[in-house]
Amino acid sequence: MALLALTVASLAGSQTPERSAEPEFRFARLAFGAYGRDYTSSRREPWLRDWPEADFHFTQGLGRLTRIVTTDDNTHVRLDDDALFDYPVVYAVKVGFMRLSAWEAVRLREYLDRGGFLIVDDFHGPAEWAEFAASLGRMFPDRAIVDIPGDDEIFHVLYDLDQRVQIPGRQAVWRGVTWEDPRGKTPYWRGVYADDGRLLVAINFNMDLGDAWEHADDPYYPEPLTALAYRFGVNYVIYAMTH
């Protein structure tokens, strides 16, 4: 795993070291087939939700808010592609549709055990949770899914994220609510930890950071929620690149 040796001081915008002209970070989105079907790149596939705007806007924000040199050339990566191990962070959405086979579960666990970091976003309600938790159980039969404590470093590595509010999708905002599933009104920040205490998976359940990124330039979407979604994403990336 080619992780980048960056310090929190440089990420937070100090004047040294000088910014490199070469990209240091490329946003990678996990591609998978819905409910165990073969992967496709059809725009109707759940894994492509909010693409490309969410990926582009978040990458632009990451470059502005930190000293990480980003690239607009974001990418998709499959579990059967060895390029997976080139990315310190992989982002997966609509994981309530993700049904990992035994081989895929082993492969994704290998990626995480070798230093990778998985951000999970935009899934809602008990049915989608059950589907994702089953895949996670195949990956980590020996590890529990737990609530991330408020004092965990990932919430404080750059921004102090003490605010726990549900980050909604745009359609929920239109309806005047913050939830997409009426059985998913409570947001959860959950994760899976390695034996050494390193967080391997950041789970944003009953939330939609991707929509907040996608609609960052939409005056109808609440700016405070977009700003909060950016801060969570930035902290996740910095944590992954420094652990």
Q: Quick one: CA dihedral 48, 54, 56, 60, positive or negative?
A: negative
Average pLDDT across the chain, whole number: 90
Q: Rounded to two decimals, what is the model's pTM?
A: 0.90
What is the Cα–Cα distance from 243 to 241, expressed in whole angstroms?
A: 6
- 121-176 pLDDT, tens per residue? 999 999 999 999 999 999 999 999 999 999 999 999 999 999 889 999 999 999 99
CA 23, CA 8: separation in Å to the nearest integer? Answer: 18
Q: What is the DSSP letter of 20?
A: P
Alpha-carbon distance of 198 to 115, in angstroms, equals 9
* Residue 14 or 212, more confident: 212
Q: Give the Cα separation of 108 and 116 in Å (integer).
A: 9
CATH architecture type of domain 24-242: 3-Layer(aba) Sandwich (3.40)
Residue 103 pLDDT exceeds 70 = yes
Spell out the alpha helix ranges (H) of 164-222. Answer: 170-175, 209-214
How much is the CA Rg of the chain, to the nearest whole Å? 17
In single-letter form, the type of residue at position 102 comes to: A
| pLDDT at residue 16, as a whole number | 38
What angle is formed at CA 46 by the lines to CA 40 and CA 52, rounded to 5 degrees? 85
The per-residue pLDDT for range 8-41, each reduced to its tens digit, is 333 344 333 454 567 889 999 999 999 988 878 7
Ranges of each domain in the chain: 24-242
